[in-house]
Amino acid sequence: MRKGSKFMVICFICVMLLTSTVAGAATDQVSKTDGNILTMAAAWKQTAAEYRALYHQGFNLATQKVGAALRDIKSGDKPLAVLTDLDDTLLLPLNYWGTLIESGKDFFDDAIWDSWIPKYEMTVAPGALDFLKYCKDNGVEVFYVTNRDQGDATYDLALESLKRLNFPYADKEHLTVLIETSNKEDAQHAVAEKFNVVCYLGDSLNDFKRVYYVKDVDERIALMENDRALFGDKFIIFPNPTDGHWIRAIFGESEPPASDENRQKFKEAATKNKSKP
Ligand SMILES: [Mg+2]
């Protein structure tokens, strides 16, 4: 190769390397600036058959529990009941998460949530209505306990959402809405005094016992493990990868503000376990 040709080849390689480096940097920049940390969890909720199958699994299990309790009930026993959470247990706010991401939000947004609730766009969780009707048809009362806050309209909005979706027992006797607290124990005890609660349904550990309401991730896991035999038995849990008290255990609050500091905390949570270099 002539000296001039050699120079041309070296120049060409340098230009190619520079171009690919710049292109790579640009791609990284695009993926970082366009990345929304909520996207994958929301996409799973919106599309995964597995997400829906977990609801069927939960309600099939709950149906079996109620069926067994109906077979075992004896004269003089307390009547049977089921105690259930609403949001992400019986009602799925899929539309909210789509709206949130479409709005460029990467953390739960209370203002969007509060303006979305009165639109009544919740959908029924797969299998939920069949299970609730099975309870109703067999005289098993269902008590709904939820924690919401949309101001003075909170209770009416929650009750109306049940009525619109033809949920049985959609009345003031069976619906408790907690506004000031997420502690469900008083409502649970009140029902358990009069009824044999066959099972509790929820998407957050707090839907079962308040003792799980701790801010330390490892402590929360350990508390759950102490009760491992109850899950799939007395406690039927449903999936929620977007929000709940697992978020509180990471950030110290259930609805942390969207900040770079909190995005960093999410990254630290995501790399809690990793291989050593
Ligand atoms: Mg819930």
> What's residue 226's pLDDT?
98
35 CA to centre of ligand 1 in angstroms: 27
Quote the ligand 1 centre to 91 CA distance (angstroms): 8
Q: What is the pLDDT of residues 118-135, one digit of tens each?
A: 999 999 999 999 999 999
The predicted structure's pLDDT at residue 34: 58
Q: Domain ranges in the chain?
A: 49-267
Residues 6+ apart with CB under 8 A from 160: 120
Residue 275's pLDDT is 93
- The CA 90 to ligand 1 mean position distance, Å, reads 8
Q: Which of 78, 92, 90, 64 is nearest to 199 (CA)?
A: 64
pLDDT less than 70: residues of the chain: 1-34
What's residue 35's pLDDT? Answer: 81
Residue type present at position 67: G
Instruction: Please give the distance, rounded to the nearest whole angstrom, from the Cα atom of residue 108 to the centre of ligand 1.
Output: 14
Question: What is the C-alpha separation between 211 and 183, in angstroms, rounded?
Answer: 10
pLDDT in tens, 176-213: 999 999 999 999 999 999 999 999 999 999 999 999 99
State residue 55's pLDDT score: 98
If one counts every other C-beta atom within 10 angstroms of the C-beta of residue 52, the result is: 16
Ligand 1 centroid – CA 246 distance (Å): 12
The per-residue pLDDT for 33 is 43
pLDDT at 277: 85
* Rounded-to-10 torsion of CA 184, 190, 195, 201: -10
Give the per-residue pLDDT at 6: 53
Length of the chain: 277
CA 68 / ligand 1 centre spacing (Å) = 26
Domain 49-267 sits in CATH 1.10.10.10: no
The Å distance, Cα 147 to ligand 1 centre, comes to: 8
Strand partners, 196: 80
State in Å: Cα 71 to ligand 1 middle: 30
Q: Where are the alpha helices (DSSP H) in the chain?
A: 3-34, 39-47, 49-72, 94-102, 110-116, 128-137, 154-164, 185-194, 217-226, 245-251, 260-270
